[in-house]
Structure 1
Amino acid sequence: MRLIQLELGSGRAVARVDGAKPAIVPGAKSMLELAQSAIAAKRSLTAEVEGRGAGESFDYAAALAEGRVLPPLDHPDPTHCWITGTGLTHLGSAEARDKMHVKLGAGDENLTDSLKMFKMGLEGGKPKGAGAGVQPEWFYKGDGTALVRPGGEFPMPSFAQDGGEEPEVVGLYIVGPDGKPFRLGFALGNEFSDHITERHNYLWLAHSKLRACSVGPELRIGDLPEHVAGDSRLIRNGKTIWTKPFLSGEKNMSHTIANLEYHHFKYGQFRHPGDVHIHYFGAATLSFADGIRTEPGDLFEIEMKEFGAPLRNTLGAKSAESFAYGGVAVL
């Protein structure tokens, strides 16, 4: 089952879009409200949707074209929406993996910190027993104010050195009234980042991640298939200037989804009742790695058949300086 959030003339709504005719889910004003109703009723999100029946049909393509489709999960107070992610979790292409294994065979003393982290995931990211495996690289992207709706424009801060796509699968969660996290499902995501800043020094990774991002347009309920394959494209002036396949699912990862979830939600501050979590699971493909420099007006397009409609966003121009050096006042 696949769901979206959208704006109608009467306000916000949730809709089911995996059938022959997209239809509004009756009585659901938001995905958060729908999920909370399912938790209260002690039933699955699928059962909650099916129990409400099918509402009026609508033109999904028009809603996308008009920019009325929202991220598939958000929070009315964006400070209660955590956007985070994990990196070095995917095996990458066969060629890249072969090169990685050659480097890994050179001995730990010759490995960069990133390669050491990758090796730890290969060796301990998929625990065999009941306990947790090794913890992954983790990063913070921002709160709900960083979310750009599908079809929207990514803002570029004045100090940005680069703005590039990172196609990923994203887990969408809410925290129940007793502090238990619930996964609603998965979506496509563009974990837009500043790769030049990151390349300068890996300790600046945290700075490079504090950028806008996008998720959706559709939420896929249920488990993530072990293997999913899609395409990432960069379109400039109507012409595709770069495209590459990307893979996800646990067959293409060095960690299990459960292991990544545990190492996020093990921290108590991430289990506040009512909070929303949007968690990126890592990328293995990006145009920057192939020498592409993005430009304002570029269109990013990320597509996987398992997730329905593609996720599209454009790159905006750099913003004017919004905060000057020395701008902190003293009380």
Structure 2
Amino acid sequence: MTVLFECLHDQVRHVGLGIPDAGEPLRLHRLREDDDLAALLAGAPDEEARTAAVTALLADRPLVEVAAQDRHRVRPRPPLLPAHIGDALVSGFMMTHNVKIDTGTQDQPNWFVKGLGDILRVPGEPLSVPGGAVAVCEEAEVVLVYVGDAQGVPRYAGHTFGNDLTDIGRFKRHAGHLSYAKLCDAGIAPWLHLGPPPRSATGEVVIERGGSPAWKGSFTTGTDAIHYDVAAMMDRLFAHRSLHRPGRVHYVYIGADRSSFHDGFRTADGDRVAIDVTSHGVRFAHPLAWTGPAERPAAQEWGR
């Protein structure tokens, strides 16, 4: 499966292929100002076409090699993040996984909005938590990425992985407060996989406190772990024309199985949440910050 990532190198947009190992040089292609990767992928009907379109574009773009010691000059970006933050919508579904399903399950899971593109955080950036949060937990998830085509219809462009940080305590106190519970930042891995959503994605979450592991647990996600037909779930969501806009990028978190909260653990300000999607060679981590939005530092945790 083709995997690409976008980044800023010396403040200029570049694209790389694959998931680079920590400490290795980076091979990047410098993009032009008018290159629109999102539109390019939205116009391709399947993985083969998306891969061909990207390959053709990069073949005509200058190759830049960044030595391992200079990787601090490279800042990853959320996949396909548009120049105008308002053109990106971050949302998701809850209670999707088989392990959470009961006899009263509805035929379409609840959908929520987390925010616009500025709440996405790449590895190493802190995830902010609203003041007054009750009990915050990590949620390791598959993130589907869609792009509005020329008519505004969202088209699948690929998927990545993320952390749908949630004030689950607020939701447990009052189920009607789901919308408030989801207003935390969202972690996202910079690597966009151009193939279909994974049937299975497995791995481990480690929460560190004071530099030492305080909790760890495994997770299983992917379409096989979800009670609903994901394609039908997305079709029903995007049947709403209010979500149609040319060029709008949708980041849809499709749910998690269990979290540290279900194991009785409570996260705290300063904890570091590391997610290792072992099945796909993807690793990313974020510190948690209860102090509200802060200046975004340079992301440094590129390791897979």
Check whether the contact 1:155–1:317 (CA below 8 A) recurs between aligned residues.
yes
Q: How does 1:131-280 map to 2 (within 5 A)?
A: 134-280=107-253
2:9 counterpart residue number: 8
Secondary structure of 1:57 counterpart: strand
Secondary structure of 1:198 counterpart: helix
1:69 counterpart residue number: 76
String of CA shifts for 1:187-215, please: whole Å, max 9, x gaps.
11100111111110111111101121121
Secondary structure of 1:258 counterpart: helix
Secondary structure of 2:66 counterpart: coil
Which whole-Å CA distance do the structure 2 matches of 1:217 and 1:319 have between them?
23
Q: Report the TM-score when normalising by structure 2.
A: 0.84
> What amino acid maps onto 1:46 in structure 2?
T
Match of 1:35 among 38, 45, 60: 38
Check whether the contact 1:188–1:302 (CA below 8 A) recurs between aligned residues.
no
String of CA shifts for 1:36-55, please: whole Å, max 9, x gaps.
13556888321122112382
Which whole-Å CA distance do the structure 2 matches of 1:19 and 1:314 have between them?
22
> What amino acid maps onto 2:76 in structure 1?
V
Match of 1:23 among 27, 39, 43: 27
Identity %: 26
Which protein has the bigger strand share? 2
Q: Report the TM-score when normalising by structure 1.
A: 0.77
1:78 counterpart residue number: 85
Which whole-Å CA distance do the structure 2 matches of 1:80 and 1:269 have between them?
13
Which whole-Å CA distance do the structure 2 matches of 1:226 and 1:61 have between them?
37
Residues 156 and 249 from structure 1, CA distance in 2 versus in 1: closer, same or farther, beyond 3 angstroms?
closer
Shift of 1:266: 0.9
Which whole-Å CA distance do the structure 1 matches of 2:256 and 2:69 have between them?
28
- Asked which structure has the greater CA Rg, the reply is 1
Check whether the contact 2:9–2:74 (CA below 8 A) recurs between aligned residues.
no
Are residues 1:47 and 2:52 paired?
yes
Aligned length, in residue pairs: 284
Shift of 1:311: 1.7
Which whole-Å CA distance do the structure 2 matches of 1:319 and 1:280 have between them?
22
Shift of 1:286: 0.9
Check whether the contact 2:38–2:80 (CA below 8 A) recurs between aligned residues.
no
**Aligned-CA RMSD value:** 2.7
Check whether the contact 1:229–1:304 (CA below 8 A) recurs between aligned residues.
yes
Secondary structure of 2:136 counterpart: coil
String of CA shifts for 1:255-300, please: whole Å, max 9, x gaps.
1220221122111011111111000000112111111111221111
String of CA shifts for 1:202-235, please: whole Å, max 9, x gaps.
1111110112112112111101232221111211
Residues 26 and 41 from structure 1, CA distance in 2 versus in 1: closer, same or farther, beyond 3 angstroms?
farther
